[in-house]
Amino acid sequence: METAFTSLGGRYANRDLILKALQIVSSKILNANKAELQIMCFAFTDDVICKSLYELARQHENLQVKILADWSQLSKQSASVVPFLATAGRPNLKVNLKLDFPYRKNPKSGSIEWNYLASHGMLHHKTMCLVMDDEPEILTFGSFNWSNRGGQAYENTVLLQKDNRTKGLIEAFESEFSAIWNDPQLSVSYAGALKLAKKAREIVRKDGNLKDPETLATLLGFEAKKNTEKQPGILSEGPIHKAFSGKGLFQERPQRGFGFPNNVEKINLLRPNGKRKPAPLTLNTLALEAIRLVPDGDEICVAMYAMSPRVPEFNALLQAARRGCRIKVLLDQKIGAGFANELARKSREEQLPIVVKATNRRMHQKYILAPSAGVVATGTANMTLDATLRHFDHRILFNGIEKITERFAEDFREIWDRIL
């Protein structure tokens, strides 16, 4: 297990760990009959990683590189390297885009523009998984987008290789990737995405509604297929738990990811009364478990890019403060100002042990940490409704894994002490 943090290793620390992971991949697959590198990315603009990835594909014909990218990587305004990789002409390098049509007509100019609120949900995962001879072996994940901007922000990356503790986690990400990649209702090839984007923009130009199921079916050339098969829930066990979120174009409600068993997993959730009861394993319940695991009076540290008082985690943090837990919150000054004010108000009203600091440097991390309790919950999900209801996101809970707790604690202390 290796970690990288901007605060501890500088602006290239996260990139360097990704490059190291690619070197490990190159070494591991030398004797493999077949290998597949599964990448999910929201933003990919880093030329150095791009060149290394291309060279990896060029040097290893037994390796299939598959990149699943957010729809925004199609934008002409983006500095994304995804178009280059998609059109590089290498038969073992393929790109799919998560289906989305985030377009609206500007009421003044009539031009068609990308719009966050029009999006069906972003592919927010930032992961790389090596599958070798059908066995998932390596996983990288974290808050770090493979971008130049990512190097300027407070970010993290974690590199795991398969062992008895991490096997289930790595398999979960292989399952999630494969489910999205192979479902035509969730993703499409790069060439197909270009054609669909052009058609979608024309529909919006004519005042069509891209949230309408019939319009979507006409655009895509097929109607939604509903999965009516119900599968029994599976209880997540062990020191590592993982939760996923996502909402397809035709879905009315989000679901707990798309791979199996991600979409049916449950957690034996610790309740406020101290008892446990099984509950669906979601971004929210995983965060509630992380917060409630912390004993009365212990310290809880939160580093979060975006937070909302409308999610269950907010009340869970207040409940923890009411039982004496000392809450420290690091927020991005630009994005988190409103939430910081709300949390400060609650703290004053109830005289709660909550301290909030905001960073001038972009705070893009998304983790909950309890150093004494050995709890870390991290991933790509912000504490927002959009993370739960729209985006393809994940959150991972590590309980009692000393090395990862120590590294996240070191990162938090470093950033906290920099802010007066």
pLDDT at 400: 96
Q: Evaluate if pTM is beyond 0.75.
A: yes
Question: How many beta carbons lie within 10 A of that of residue 106, not counting itself?
Answer: 10
Question: How many beta carbons lie within 10 A of that of residue 251, not counting itself?
Answer: 14
Pairing of strands 393-399, 366-370: unpaired
Strands (DSSP E) contained in 55-155 are 63-69, 93-98, 103-105, 112-114, 127-132, 135-142
b or e along 116-125 (b: 16 or more beta carbons within 10 Å of the residue's beta carbon)?
A: eebbbbbbbb
DSSP assignment of 159-172 equals EEE--TTTHHHHHH
Q: Assess whether pLDDT exceeds 70 at residue 229.
A: no
Question: How many beta carbons lie within 10 A of that of residue 242, not counting itself?
Answer: 23
pLDDT category of residue 266 using cuts at 50, 70 and 90: very high
pLDDT category of residue 75 using cuts at 50, 70 and 90: confident
- Mean pLDDT, range 201-214, rounded to an integer: 95
pLDDT category of residue 232 using cuts at 50, 70 and 90: confident
- What residues does 264 pair with on adjacent strands? none
pLDDT category of residue 57 using cuts at 50, 70 and 90: very high
- In this predicted structure, which of 271-280, 334-343, 395-404 has the lowest mean pLDDT? 334-343
Q: pLDDT tens-digit profile of 135-183?
A: 999 999 999 999 988 889 999 999 999 999 999 999 999 999 999 999 9
Closest to 393 (Cα-Cα) out of 266, 286, 277: 286
* Helix ranges restricted to H, 233-377: 283-292, 312-322, 337-350
pLDDT at 228: 58
pLDDT at 364: 97
For the domain bounded by 2-182+186-220, which CATH number is listed?
A: 3.30.870.10
- Mean pLDDT, range 222-240, rounded to an integer: 83
The reply to whether domains 2-182+186-220 and 234-418 share a CATH topology is yes
Q: pLDDT tens-digit profile of 1-25?
A: 999 999 999 999 999 999 999 999 9
Q: Assess whether pLDDT exceeds 80 at residue 35.
A: yes
Report in angstroms the alpha-carbon separations of 358 from 121, 321, 349, 362, 399: 27, 19, 21, 9, 27
Q: pLDDT tens-digit profile of 112-147?
A: 999 999 999 999 999 999 999 999 999 999 999 999
Q: Assess whether pLDDT exceeds 90 at residue 230.
A: no
Where are the domains positioned within the chain? 2-182+186-220, 234-418
Cis bond upstream, residue 184 (ω within 30): no
What amino acid occupies position 398? F
CA distance 79 to 241: 35
Task: List phi, psi (to 5°) of 53.
Answer: -65, -45
Handedness of CA 167, 170, 172, 175 (dihedral sign): negative
CA distance 93 to 51: 13
- Mean pLDDT, range 269-298, rounded to an integer: 97
Q: Assess whether pLDDT exceeds 80 at residue 225.
A: no
Radius of gyration of the chain (CA): 21
Residue pair 97/71 in contact (Cβ under 8 Å)? The answer is yes
Q: Assess whether pLDDT exceeds 90 at residue 224.
A: no
Q: pLDDT tens-digit profile of 78-120?
A: 899 999 999 999 999 999 999 999 999 999 999 999 999 999 9
Give the DSSP H/E element, type plus range, for residue 27: helix 13-28
pLDDT category of residue 407 using cuts at 50, 70 and 90: very high
Query: Order of strands, edge to edge, in the sheet holding 127-132?
Result: 2-5, 156-161, 135-142, 127-132, 35-41, 63-69, 93-98, 187-189
- Residue range 234-418 in CATH 3.40.50.2300: no
Average pLDDT, the chain: 95
